[in-house]
Amino acid sequence: MDAFQWYSVTSSAYFALQAVPLLLSPKLMISLLAEPRRLMQGEAYIYRSFALLLLAFAALNLLLTGIIPLDGRSDGTSQKNPYAFPTLTITTAYHMCTAFYIYTQLSSGWSFAFGTGLICSGLLFCFGIWNIVFGSQEKSLSKMGADKRTSGFPFSNSESAKEIKKEAKEKEKEKERSKRRSVPRTTSSRA
C-alpha cells in the first residue's frame, strides 16, 4: 500500500469510528453532551442519519479512491482512478473543517473527546495535505543525468566546473596548435 491508500483506509476507518456510537446508541451521545434526559425521536433520527451518512462517506471514500475496485479487476494492474484526487481533496477539507471546529470548541475548556478528535482530525488533515502535495508525483529516487554531476559535498557545482575544465582544455589545444605553427620546420638533409 502506498501513502495515498493508507490515507484513504485510515480516513474511512475514522469515519466509521465516528459513526458507530451514533448508530448504536444515540442516547449515550445525549447523556455525554447534556444533563440526563429522555431522547426525543427527532434527535435519535438525526443522530442515526448522521451515522449512516458517515458510513456512506467512508464507503464512497474507499470506492472512489480505488481501494475497492469498481470493475472487478484485482490483478494488481490498477489504472489511475480519475476520482481519486478530488476525493482526496474533499476528505482533506472535511478533516480540516472538523479539526478547526473542534479547536474552537476547546477554547472554552479541555475535554478528552474533543482533544482526541482534534488530534485525529488534525493528523488526517496533515496526512491528506502531504498526499495532495507529494502523493501524485512519480516515484523517482535515483539520480539521472545532470543530477549526478551537480550534487556533491559540500554543494559544489561540478557542472560549471566541467565547463571550466572543458574551456581550459580548449585553450590548451589552441596553445598547442599555435606552438606547432610558430616552430619552424627543419628539413632533413639526406645525402
Give every CB contact of residue 19 below 8 A, 6+ residues apart in sequence. 50, 51, 52, 53, 54, 55, 58
What is the pLDDT confidence band of residue 77, given thresholds at 50, 70 and 90?
A: very low
Residue the block writes with cell 474533499: 90
Report the chain's mean pLDDT, rounded to a whole number: 79
| Domain encompassing residue 126 | 3-71+81-134
In a domain, residue 183? The reply is no
Would the pLDDT of 152 be above 50? yes
How many domains would you assign to the chain? 1
In a domain, residue 141? The reply is no
In a domain, residue 117? The reply is yes
pLDDT of residue 142: 57
What is the pLDDT confidence band of residue 72, given thresholds at 50, 70 and 90?
A: low
- Mean pLDDT computed over 22-29: 77
The three three-digit cell numbers of residue 166, written as one number: 572543458
Q: What is the pTM of this model?
A: 0.63
Residue percentage of the chain with pLDDT more than 90: 18
Helix axes 84-106, 3-24, angle to 10 degrees: 50
Q: How far apart are CA 95 and CA 75, in angstroms?
A: 32
pLDDT of residue 64: 85
Would the pLDDT of 182 be above 50? yes
- Mean pLDDT computed over 118-138: 88
In a domain, residue 59? The reply is yes
In a domain, residue 150? The reply is no
In a domain, residue 34? The reply is yes
In a domain, residue 28? The reply is yes
Q: Where are the beta strands (DSSP E) in 54-162?
A: none
Give every CB contact of residue 42 below 8 A, 6+ residues apart in sequence. none
In a domain, residue 33? The reply is yes
